[in-house]
Amino acid sequence: MTAVPQEIRAEPLPMAAESRRRDAWWAEPLAVVVVLTSFGLYALWAALQNGNYYAAPYLSPFYSPCISVNCVHVTLPLIGSWWTLSPALLILGIPLGFRVTCYYYRKAYYRAFFWSPPACAIPDARRGYSGETRFPFVLQNSHRYFFWLSLVVLAFLWWDALLAFRFPTGVGIGLGTVVLVVNATLLTLYSLSCHSCRYLCGGYLDSFKDAPIRYRLWRWTNRLNARHPHFAWISLFGVALADLYVRLVAMGVITDPRIVF
């Protein structure tokens, strides 16, 4: 082989049956399909309910911030009474967009749903492939804007969590308070561990010599970023369970146990 340029040579080997992976490579994509599909169906159902999303003082995270005046618990009255659909539909686009364009979820669903590739060294399902160079996948580049918007939503979730300490009888803590605080914490960890956040905190610099604060921020987001996949899954379960808890309390199926009166 010389360094004198050569044409890229013939086709690669056709894959013989013997050289296929023999381990259970399908388990991971299968699990991703099951979890994401279940979550998607539950979230859609919950968002369309337009009811049982507030059980004082708890607001379901699927409906927060509630920005329609028709809301049971209005956070910010931005949308007039003409909006009669579920107020969840007004804001769910932000967390949805954040997760869809997330560098980690992209890996998970490109593998599990698009089969490009289903697992490492397992052939792609489709013949043609252009990656994220064309529409619609080129829109994945908007991730950093969804990150900024998510921070806004996150602020409201913390506001909700704060309000969850305020009972008619005074300040207290119920199980729902804990649920909302944990949910906000998990979503915060997920958001701040995001790759875009890491970049915006200091990753764009080539030298940190004159940027000690950005260096520390960047280091800190690096450590979080290493666990981004964990936070992605835990916060996904967290937000669904938080909605379910508020929903069950609102429906009267369970009563919220008070921990501190």
Q: Name the minimum Å distance from CB 229 to another protein.
A: 10
**Which H or E run contains 91?**
helix 88-91
Torsion (CA) 41, 97, 84, 82 in degrees, nearest 10: -170
Among 117, 159, 167, 248, binds another protein (CB under 8 A): 117
Q: How far apart, in whole angstroms, are the C-alpha atoms of residue 73 and residue 67?
A: 9
- Look at strands 166-167 and 173-174 and give their pairing: unpaired
Q: Does position 138 bind another protein by CB under 8 A?
A: yes
Q: Does position 41 bind another protein by CB under 8 A?
A: no
Please write down the HEC assignment for all residues of 67-86. Answer: CECCCCCCCCCCECCCCCCC
Please write down the HEC assignment for all residues of 149-193. Answer: HHHHHHHHHHHHHHHCCEECCEECEEHHHHHHHHHHHHHHHHHHC
Q: Does position 193 bind another protein by CB under 8 A?
A: no
Among 73, 99, 111, 247, binds another protein (CB under 8 A): 111
Q: Does position 2 bind another protein by CB under 8 A?
A: yes
Q: Does position 44 bind another protein by CB under 8 A?
A: no
Q: Are 197 and 191 in contact (CB under 8 A)?
A: yes
Print the binding letters for residues 12-31 with another protein: x by CB under 8 A, - otherwise: xx-xx-xxxxxx--------
Burial 149-161 (b: 16+ CB within 10 A, else e): bbeebbebbeebb
Among 83, 137, 165, 233, binds another protein (CB under 8 A): 137
Q: Judged by CB, which is closer to another protein: 129, or 261?
A: 129
Print the binding letters for residues 194-213 with another protein: x by CB under 8 A, - otherwise: -xx-xx---xxxxxxxxx--
Q: Name the minimum Å distance from CB 220 to another protein.
A: 13
Among 128, 136, 170, 252, binds another protein (CB under 8 A): 128
Q: Name the minimum Å distance from CB 122 to another protein.
A: 8
- Look at strands 54-55 and 170-171 and give their pairing: unpaired
Q: Does position 75 bind another protein by CB under 8 A?
A: no
Binding stretches for another protein (CB under 8 A): 1-6, 8-13, 15-16, 18-23, 103, 106-107, 110-111, 116-117, 120-121, 123-124, 127-133, 137-138, 141-144, 195-196, 198-199, 203-211, 215, 225-226
